[in-house]
Structure 1
Amino acid sequence: MKVIWAPWRIRYIEMPKPKTCFLCDAVKSRDNKKHYVIYRGSKCFIIMNLFPYNPGHLMVAPYRHVPSVEDLSDDELFDLAMLTKLSLKILRKAFNPHGFNVGVNIGNVAGAGVEEHVHVHVVPRWSGDTNFMPLLADVKVIPQALEETYRKLKNVLKEFKLE
């Protein structure tokens, strides 16, 4: 069994939980750049993960604050699937990853960091994308600043004529 170490995420896990849902905050705001919102669909949106497992780690979430896929309407579920597909296309064009992890964590015991607002993780992967730095130095090497990643992904959307 392979193990993916992500010790840098302990900062997120241990930090005090905000009083508001960061996904709902992003929904309510018109400042996409401030919240790293990549794209807004009819029922869902694409947002960057601020504590990424890898560069380009995206999340697709409904506008509505619900805890599980089971709570989504058919229209919301369709938009969630379409924006997950769009996320894959954007990341493939922007970063040319070797593969992806795509998944939903429902409930705290399943690994959901924000268990009350369901979202899909889309994580680009590359051969050898894990290294010794997280293990020896408790450091994750993310070779690109979030702002730079945001800009790159938004430029791909423009190429797709979706911006």
Structure 2
Amino acid sequence: MSDDGLERIWTPHRMAYVRTAVDDEGCPLCAIPGHPDGESLVVARGEVAYAVLNLHPYNPGHLMVLPYRHVADLADLTPEESGELMSMTQQALRTIRAVSRPDSFNVGLNLGRAAGGSLADHLHQHVVPRWTGDANFITVVGGTKTLPQLLEDTRALLADAWPGAPR
């Protein structure tokens, strides 16, 4: 606890988000592909979509699959974007299973701000690995989520296991 009474948590992985926000005054999800994969936490790139670790993960390995194109609504995706979004989501499930062996997954889209989409203007599908008991004592009572690994290390593990992904 500091002199001002505030508890501080060191989160160096957030610098990638801060840099993206400064570099691009528009959509941070549109800016991510323009940065090196290791810096921007890109796990894999396709022709019209890519997979990137979430900077605010619910659990280790929480990533998002999204089109490169700035589009908000699922109904507005091209057939190519829809197909690659789904095939990359399936590959994300296979890769995370191989690397982390979760018990289950949450996979989904928040379409619009009222649905919980914090970056609602750029469609992105969440892939969240889940383990029995992952909402433990510190999360439930302390309101704090612990992550056992730096995002850069998680990204490297997933990218190495993803067939054809950048290293």
TM-score normalised by the shorter chain: which range applies? 0.7 to 0.9
Deviations 1:59-117 (A, max 9, x none): 00000000111111011100101100111011001100011000000001101010000
* Letter in structure 2 aligned against 1:82: S
Q: d(CA) in 2 for partners of 1:50 and 1:120?
A: 14
Pairwise CA distance, 1:126: 0.5
Moved more, 89-98 or 128-137: 128-137
Determine the structure 1 residue equivalent to 2:47.
Answer: 42
How many pairs does the alignment contain?
146
Of 63, 87, 91, 1:58 maps to: 63
Secondary structure, aligned partner of 2:83? helix
The residue number in structure 1 matching 2:4 is: none
Displacement, 1:161?
4.7
- Runs of 4+, deviation exceeding 2 Å: 134-138, 160-163
SS of the aligned residue for 1:79 comes to helix
Quote how far apart the aligned CAs of 1:162 are: 4.4
Find the counterpart in structure 1 of residue 127 from structure 2.
122
Structure 1 residues without counterparts, runs of 5 or longer: 1-7
Match of 2:108 among 97, 103, 107: 103
Contact 2:45 2:165 in 1 (8 A): no
TM-score (norm 2): 0.81
Q: Counterparts of 1:81 and 1:154 in 2: how far apart (Å)?
A: 18
What does the per-residue CA deviation read over 1:106-145, in whole Å, with 9 as the maximum and x for residues that have no partner?
A: 0011010100000100000011110121343332111111
Q: How does 1:21-100 map to 2 (within 5 A)?
A: 21-29=27-35, 31-100=36-105
Give me the TM-score of the superposition, normalised by structure 1: 0.83
CA RMSD of aligned residues (A): 1.9
Q: Give how far 1:150 is off.
A: 1.0
